[in-house]
């Protein structure tokens, strides 16, 4: 019989995530998937889950869950207090949750997104090969609500020992290495210098679609409209207000604002954990 997980407290925004949907961008389907993929991968590894097991991604305020049978979980990613029926429990390592007990992943003490992985994975029906919630186009399960019941898969592997699990600390300063292009020529020659020398900060309006920034606006030489073109993950798109937006996993597949540069994908995991106000340094490389 399938083990069920009841959502006791859904938190500000908790979604089901895995590695997302690849190869459908030409149909207008974003990649989606966990924003901090290394954190998801580590949580799954600690449980002996398959790499494509779906997990829960929380936002700032965590979530609380109650399984109807005993399950093993890992809460990782952004550090947060973990409790089992109100008693402190381990963060960042496998934890046994007895049947009917409430696992609460609390508000983050740093970072943005905690991950709750469960042995066997969240077994909602996949859509286009992925169980991920895509907030831009609405594919996959809706964000969790209190009272939702999630099916779990059968635990596949044996949990690995938690020694030396390298959970990186959320960034105090976010460094985003980027390569200029494809539309750097839409900006003044000073714009790349501004981008890489000024301090930007993470805007509170950031979400799974993009990391919005506050800082000096980047000026364009060309004010015309860019015909819609394909957008990649990590694209630094500059809307008319001149404040760069770094596209994250739920980004639109095509867009009409010029992209001054593209941030390397490995740096985006830290971007997913950079809280509002975190200083950002864009570097060339």
Asked if 100 touches other proteins (CB under 8 A), the answer is no
Cis peptide before 182 (omega within 30 of 0): yes
Q: How far is the CB of 113 from other proteins (least distance, A)?
A: 23
Binding residue count for other proteins, defined by CB under 8 A: 34
Asked if 179 touches other proteins (CB under 8 A), the answer is yes
Task: Give the contact letters, 137-156, x = binds to other proteins (CB under 8 A), - = no.
Answer: x-x-----------------
Asked if 234 touches other proteins (CB under 8 A), the answer is yes
Asked if 28 touches other proteins (CB under 8 A), the answer is yes
Asked if 124 touches other proteins (CB under 8 A), the answer is no
User: DSSP letters of 206-243?
Assistant: --SSEEEEESSPPPBS--SPPPPEE--TTEEE--TT--
Asked if 269 touches other proteins (CB under 8 A), the answer is no
Stretch that binds other proteins, among 36-44, 89-97, 188-196, 261-269 (CB under 8 A): 261-269
Work out which of 1, 26, 86, 241 binds other proteins, going by CB under 8 A. Answer: 26
One-letter-per-residue 3-state SS of 40-84: HHHHHHHHCCCCCCCEEECCCCCEEEEECCCEEEEEEECCCCEEE
Q: How far is the CB of 121 from other proteins (least distance, A)?
A: 21
Q: How far is the CB of 28 from other proteins (least distance, A)?
A: 4
Distance from C-alpha of 5 to C-alpha of 110, rounded to nearest angstrom: 26
Asked if 23 touches other proteins (CB under 8 A), the answer is yes
Q: Which helix (H) or strand (E) holds 200?
A: strand 200-202
Residue 149 burial by Cβ neighbours in a 10 Å radius (0-12, 13-18, 19+)? exposed
Beta strands, E only, 85-197: 87-89, 95-97, 103-105, 114-118, 149-151, 174-180
Stretch that binds other proteins, among 45-53, 200-208, 232-240, 272-280 (CB under 8 A): 232-240
Asked if 259 touches other proteins (CB under 8 A), the answer is yes
Residue 110's nearest CA partner among 84, 87, 77, 88 is 77
Task: Tell me which residues touch other proteins (CB under 8 A).
Answer: 22-29, 127-128, 137, 139, 178-179, 181-183, 227-232, 234-235, 252-255, 259, 262-265
């Amino acid at each position: 019989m399938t083990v069920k997980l009841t959502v006791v407290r859904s938190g500000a925004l908790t979604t089901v995530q895995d590695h997302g949907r690849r190869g459908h961008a030409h149909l207008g389907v974003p990649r989606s998937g966990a924003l901090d993929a290394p954190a998801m991968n580590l949580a799954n590894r600690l449980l002996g889950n398959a790499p494509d097991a779906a997990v829960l991604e929380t936002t700032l305020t965590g979530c609380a869950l109650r399984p109807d049978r005993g399950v093993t979980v890992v809460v990782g990613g952004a550090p947060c207090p973990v409790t089992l029926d109100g008693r402190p429990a381990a963060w960042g390592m496998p934890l046994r949750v007895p049947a009917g007990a409430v696992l609460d992943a609390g508000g983050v003490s740093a970072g943005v997104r905690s991950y709750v992985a469960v042995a066997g994975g969240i077994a909602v029906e996949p859509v286009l090969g992925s169980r991920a919630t895509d907030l831009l186009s609405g594919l996959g399960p809706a964000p969790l609500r209190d009272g939702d019941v999630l099916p779990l898969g059968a635990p596949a592997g044996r949990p690995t020992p938690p020694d030396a699990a390298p959970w990186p600390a959320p960034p105090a300063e976010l460094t985003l290495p980027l390569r200029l292009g494809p539309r750097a020529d839409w900006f003044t020659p000073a714009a790349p210098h501004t981008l890489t020398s000024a301090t930007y900060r993470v805007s509170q309006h950031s979400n799974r679609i993009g990391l919005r920034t506050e800082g000096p606006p980047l000026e364009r030489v060309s004010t015309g409209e860019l015909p819609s073109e394909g957008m990649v993950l990590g694209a630094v798109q500059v809307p008319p207000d001149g404040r760069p937006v770094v596209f994250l996993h739920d980004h639109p597949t095509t867009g009409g604002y010029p992209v001054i540069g593209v941030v390397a994908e490995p740096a985006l995991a830290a971007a997913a954990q950079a809280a509002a106000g975190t200083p950002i340094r864009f570097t060339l490389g």
